Amino acid sequence: MTKRQIREQIIFSIYYYYIMKLDNINFHQMFLDNSNFIINEKDIKEYEPIIEKISEYENIVSKYLTSDWKFYRLSNLEKAIMILSTYEILYLKIDFKIVINEAVEITKKYCNIQNYAYINKVLEQIRIMEK
């Protein structure tokens, strides 16, 4: 499985968290249930901390949205992309250029094509301000 496919699976898990309105315990179980057949154990362990800190990452993303946007107004998929990307930038310390490229490509693939520029801008602000 490629790194992008792993990212997509994690984004879909976060997306389900939002559409199913799960609490962290149920999200954790759903993440493990859905990931075991697709993502290897190492990748599950690497990305599992998102679950415990999802509200922290939501707050970080919210800080850098423009004044006319609120976190709750983003699509659930856009939320998931930004949560994962924020986690990769701040926690995993993955090179920003890789994270932003992946976020942009995944956004173009699954979201409104114009939204990639907005996501790019927010993630750039997170990278600069949260270091």
pLDDT (0 to 100) of residue 35? 56
Q: pLDDT confidence of 79, banded at 50, 70, 90? A: very high
Domain boundary assignment for the chain: 3-129
Q: pLDDT confidence of 108, banded at 50, 70, 90? A: very high
* Contacts for 117 with CB less than 8 Å, ≥ 6 apart: none
Q: Which tokens in the block code for residue 108?
A: 């173009």
pLDDT at 83 over 90: yes
SS (HEC) of 48-111? CHHHHCHHHHHHHHHHCCCCCCCHHHCCHHHHHHHHHHHHHHHCCCCCHHHHHHHHHHHHHHHC
Mean pLDDT, rounded, for 24-38: 63
pLDDT (0 to 100) of residue 112? 87
pLDDT (0 to 100) of residue 113? 83
Which CATH fold would you assign to the domain 3-129? N-utilizing Substance Protein B Homolog; Chain A (1.10.940)
34 HSE (CA, 13 A, CB side): 18
Q: pLDDT confidence of 52, banded at 50, 70, 90? A: confident
pLDDT at 62 over 80: yes
